[in-house]
Amino acid sequence: DVKVTQSSRYLVKRTGEKVFLECVQDMDHENMFWYRQDPGLGLRLIYFSYDVKMKEKGDIPEGYSVSREKKERFSLILESASTNQTSMYLCASSLVPAGGSPDTQYFGPGTRLTVL
Amino acid sequence: AQKVTQAQTEISVVEKEDVTLDCVYETRDTTYYLFWYKQPPSGELVFLIRRNSFDEQNEISGRYSWNFQKSTSSFNFTITASQVVDSAVYFCALPKSILTGGGNKLTFGTGTQLKVEL
């Protein structure tokens, strides 16, 4: 079974702090994703990585950065946390199948971040 | 641009009732995939189905069935004889357009909260 783990289920930080959210997958997937989930807005893509050290901005990258130094690990960084970044953060991973068709994304349990 | 609409924000049913969750999509692509995910209270999204637009046959998996209608751009999900364990948020998703190089990235609907009560 694919396993995607996230470093924390719940996190409370103060405004202005630097926050690291870690995600690890154990299935050798090339693609990794960070989403945030807010009520009434569904899931929105923050960043996407298709290989080590490779990344693409998603729909809402402002205020975030990412790091992928190893294939299995994808980190989301909030350089200076703000209250509007209080949200549920979900990490996912997927293969890159032949032909380029999108493969199934497998999700971690999520991190509920509160910024005070 | 790709768009997924789940107009039902919340549905409440009594156990053993059948329930259908609607998903309407917009895409410029001629071939595409559609997904459904379930998010139980624990928070982790669980994959339910991935469907290719070439295949318009309905899909059945136990109490779950999916009706794909290309003519109306809909991919609806029906739970037969609902159970309390079906209570969750359900998301429909569509990959971003391959015309813009986005085939690996998903556009999600806003989700439908299903509550199944005894």
Question: What's residue B10's pLDDT?
Answer: 97
Per the CB < 8 A criterion, the answer to whether B3 and B96 are in contact is: no
- Mind listing the pLDDT tens digit for each residue in B60-92? 899 999 999 999 999 999 999 999 999 999 999
Q: Is the pLDDT of residue A109 over 80?
A: yes
- Residues B90-112 have a mean pLDDT of 83
The residue type found at B93 is A
Contacting residues of A for B38, CB less than 8 Å apart: none
Residue B89 CA to residue B44 CA, distance in Å, equals 10
Closest by CA position to B50, among listed B40, B59, B41: B59
Tell me the residue type at B110: T
**Cα–Cα distance list, B56 to B35, B79, B85, B92 (Å):** 14, 19, 29, 17
A105 CB neighbour count, 10 Å cutoff: 27
Q: What average pLDDT does the structure give for chain A?
A: 92
**Distance from the A109 Cα atom to the nearest Cα atom in chain B, whole angstroms:** 4
> How far is it, in rounded angstroms, from Cα A83 to Cα A16?
9
Q: In the block, which residue shows the tokens 């960084």? A: A77
| pLDDT reading at B101 higher than 80 | no
Question: Per-residue pLDDT for A82 more than 90?
Answer: yes
Q: Are A43 and A37 in contact (CB under 8 A)?
A: yes
Neighbours of B109 (CB within 10 A): 25
Q: How far apart are CA A53 and CA A85, in angstroms?
A: 24
Q: Residue A33 has what pLDDT?
A: 95
How close B114 gets to chain A, by Cα (Å)? 14
C-beta of residue A101 within 8 angstroms of C-beta of residue A61: no
Residues of A within 8 A of B45 (CB-CB) are 43, 90, 92, 107
Q: Residue A98 has what pLDDT? A: 61
Q: Confidence band (pLDDT; 50, 70, 90) for A102?
A: confident
Query: Average pLDDT, stretch A62-73?
Result: 96
User: What's residue B1's pLDDT?
Assistant: 75
Q: Least CB-CB distance to B91: which of A42, A101, A108?
A: A42
Q: DSSP label at B73?
A: T
- Mutation to test the B interface, candidates A37, A43, A106, most B Cβ within 10 Å: A43
Give the C-alpha separation, A25 to A93, whole Å: 7
Query: Scanning every residue of chain A, which has its alpha carbon at the shortest distance from the alpha carbon of B106?
Result: A45
Best to test chain B binding among A107, A111, A112, A113 (most B CBs inside 10 Å):
A107
User: Which one has a higher pLDDT value, A19 or B2?
Assistant: A19
Task: Compute the nearest-CA separation of B85 from chain A (Å).
Answer: 18
